[in-house]
Amino acid sequence: MTENRQTRAELAEEITERIRPFVPATEEYQKTLTEAMAYSVFNGGKRVRPMLLLLTYRALGGDRAAEATLVDPFLAAIEMIHCYSLVHDDLPAMDNDRFRRGILTTHAKFGHAMGILAGDGLLNAAFEAALSAREPAGCEGRILAAMRILARRAGAFGMVGGQTVDVEKTGQPMTEEELVFVYRLKTGALLAAAMQVGAVLAGAPAETIDAVGEIAERVGLAFQIQDDILDVVSTTEELGKPVGSDEKNHKTTYVTLHGMRESRETEERLSEEALAILENISGGGDKEPLAELITSLVGRTV
């Protein structure tokens, strides 16, 4: 890392401030709703998805001067979609978790009904944010293309579809094919959306956008395998949420199918493949920060 390069924590803090104006606030009758929405977003998240979006945009030569009006709305959009999914994932009907990031989950603090509504509100606010983006002259069509990717990757054929299979299979054994399907959609789809939206907003050609999707697919699977590992080897204090929830909910994971050693080896292989694809992409920007982020996501301890 060069001397002037931001640390991951510094970039996460910057992104938090850049997305803050897009999260709704009000003193009207729905004040409790917007408070629950803000609580869900500004409760210590690592900003992995907007970080991937921003660093992909920069790696592919995106115009830094256009970031505030073109990119920031999408940073907010993808983080709000991610946060809404966590709010709903924590509900009693799903994983029934009362703690996330070391504090009460949204439904535990505001009630079950408000947890549902906060998630609904964040999903709608995400698309309001994305629709507020403005394209520089000569860049027409990028926002619409980015919106298509975001909507598809977040819905029934992306994140929500993966979560559906995950819920239906709770307490039942899963084949490896089923498990990988869940991981590629539930976790990988939104990571792919982040990177591909960044590529589209940077004006990358179709083949580069496809290659970025290949990178994100590998990163998403490796990320989820590491999540499985952490659920076994970490502690509640380190993760900020209860560990052992997979065992509690009788979930099949990569670790239960392949064991710890093979899971770690697969995670490392996927990361190496992702970095190799990135190395071969012609981007016009600095790819090193993106490569460093991908590397840090593998083997993380929280």
pLDDT in tens, 20-50: 999 999 999 999 999 999 999 999 889 999 9
| pLDDT recorded at residue 274 | 95
Domain assignment present for residue 48? The answer is: yes
Residue 250 pLDDT greater than 80, yes or no: no
Q: Which amino acid is at 180?
A: V
| Alpha-carbon dihedral 225, 13, 192, 92, rounded to 10 degrees | 60
> For a pLDDT cut of 90, what percent of the chain falls above it?
77
Query: Is residue 96 one of the residues assigned to a domain?
Result: yes
Q: Tell me if 57 is assigned to some domain.
A: yes
Each residue's pLDDT tens digit, 56-106? 999 999 999 999 999 999 999 999 999 999 999 999 998 889 998 889 999
> Is the pTM value of this prediction over 0.95?
no
The total domain count for the chain is 1
Residue 3 belongs to some domain of the structure: no
Coil/strand/helix, residue 99 = strand
Return the CATH number at 68.
1.10.600.10
Residue 238 counted as domain residue: yes
For helices 72-89 and 48-59, angle between their N-to-C axes, nearest 10 degrees? 150
> 112-131 and 142-154 are packed helices; what angle lies between their axes, rounded to 10 degrees?
160
Q: Is residue 212 part of a domain?
A: yes
- On whether residue 1 sits in a domain, the answer given is no
Please tell me what DSSP assigns to residue 100. Answer: E
Question: Which domain covers residue 82, as residue numbers?
Answer: 8-297
